[in-house]
Amino acid sequence: MTPINPPKSLDQLTAQEIERKANIGKIVTYTLGNLTSTYVNEGFQWLLPVVLSQSTDPLWPDPNASIETRIEVDIYGKPVRTMSSMIVHKLIAASTVYPKLFILSPNVRIEKSERGKTGKHIYEFTQLDFEIQNATSKDVFLLVETALCTLIKALKKDMKEALSAIGRFDALPTLEGPFKIFDREDLEAKYGETWEADVASEITQPAWITNLPREFYDFEDFSTGKWDNYDLIMPQFGEVLSGSKREYDYAKVIKKMEQHGVRKENYSLIIQMAKEGRLKPTAGAGIGIERIVGYITGVRHIAECQPFPRVPGIVHEL
């Protein structure tokens, strides 16, 4: 993999780079407006995000996690962590008050410094995180396919000037659903460990990848060893979304926590609700905003989509 130079801070940009940054900003604004409108129109409630919490995503044993530091502070005599993902909050919220919800959720994941040159990793990012009670993976697929196909079509109609200014209008293909579905085991057998990059380089339309061994809350069929979860891979780019059908059965949740070495004290509310039968079956996902905009704009590093780049290994004053 060829290392990618990180984006500059705002004060270092040339006049030409400022114009490019401004056009990318217009596309970010349009993308956020279009996606959030789609979810609101589909009956989702838009929740406000959480930044500090006792409970957040363990990011384990996901092999793609590469966290160097976990930020923990004491407030009011209790340890809290910066949000790495609002998955725990989504499961509780969708099981109680908000059966269809989404959040523009800020995530802090202090990635190892070497990931700063992949072009796909940043240590602060925003997800459009959503969850649906009593939904299946197919429900999620249809929702996301409709949202992304609608977004790209609208962008090419309404944002031609901005896309053309950064040389992306002609190169950005119109998307058509349904997207193909691949099983991770089949891809590993065909390509080996580099299956994600190989698939991204070959496909011309987005593709779903299923059956990915991950965290305790992703649904696993113990009888077959298959996982009912998914990533969405974009052509020539890679992953922009990760999600799953969720675990809600008490015995399975406990067993998987113990298998994965998860600290149960950090997830006592999920455990209690599952034990009482109050944790409902849900499915959902998180769309990385910087990643989907990175795909749309064709940037070399997704931090170029941020006003204040958050590149692993680099700390700017702002």
Residue 101 three-state SS: strand
How would you write the pLDDT of the chain (318 residues) with one tens digit per residue?
577 889 999 999 999 999 999 999 999 999 999 999 999 999 999 999 999 999 999 987 776 777 888 899 999 999 999 999 999 999 999 999 999 999 999 999 999 999 999 999 999 999 999 999 999 999 999 999 999 999 999 999 999 999 999 999 999 999 999 999 999 999 999 999 999 999 999 999 999 999 999 999 999 999 999 999 999 999 999 999 999 999 999 999 999 999 999 999 999 999 999 999 999 999 999 999 999 999 999 999 999 999 999 999 999 999
Residue 265 is predicted with a pLDDT of: 92
Residue type, 309: P
Residues 14-22: contacts with CB under 8 Å, at least 24 apart: 19/165, 20/165, 20/166, 21/304, 21/307
The maximal CA–CA distance of the chain, rounded, in angstroms, is: 60
Distance CA 93, CA 88 (A): 9
Give the DSSP H/E element, type plus range, for residue 220.
Answer: strand 220-221
Give the DSSP H/E element, type plus range, for residue 229.
Answer: strand 229-234
In this structure, are strands 229-234 and 100-108 parallel, antiparallel, or unpaired?
Answer: unpaired
Residue 60 is predicted with a pLDDT of: 76
Residues in contact with 92: Cβ distance below 8 Å, sequence separation at least 6, in sequence order: 269, 270, 273
Q: Counting Cβ atoms within 10 Å, is residue 2 exposed (0-12), middle (13-18) or buried (19+)?
A: exposed
Residue 66 is predicted with a pLDDT of: 77
Closest CA to 107 of 118, 94, 121, 93: 121
Check if the beta carbon of residue 6 is closer than 8 Å to that of residue 303.
yes
Burial 145-182 (b: 16+ CB within 10 A, else e): bebbbebbebbbeebeebbebbebeeebeebeeebeeb
Q: How many residues comprise the chain?
A: 318
Residue 211 is predicted with a pLDDT of: 98
Residue 1 is predicted with a pLDDT of: 57
Q: What is the pTM of this model?
A: 0.96
Residue 264 three-state SS: helix
- Domains of the chain (ranges plus CATH)? 10-305 (3.30.930.10)
- Tokens read off for 82: 């910066």
CA end-to-end span of the chain = 29
Task: List 286's β-bridge partners, or say none.
Answer: 129, 242
Residue 39 is predicted with a pLDDT of: 98
Running DSSP on this structure, what letter comes out for residue 246? B
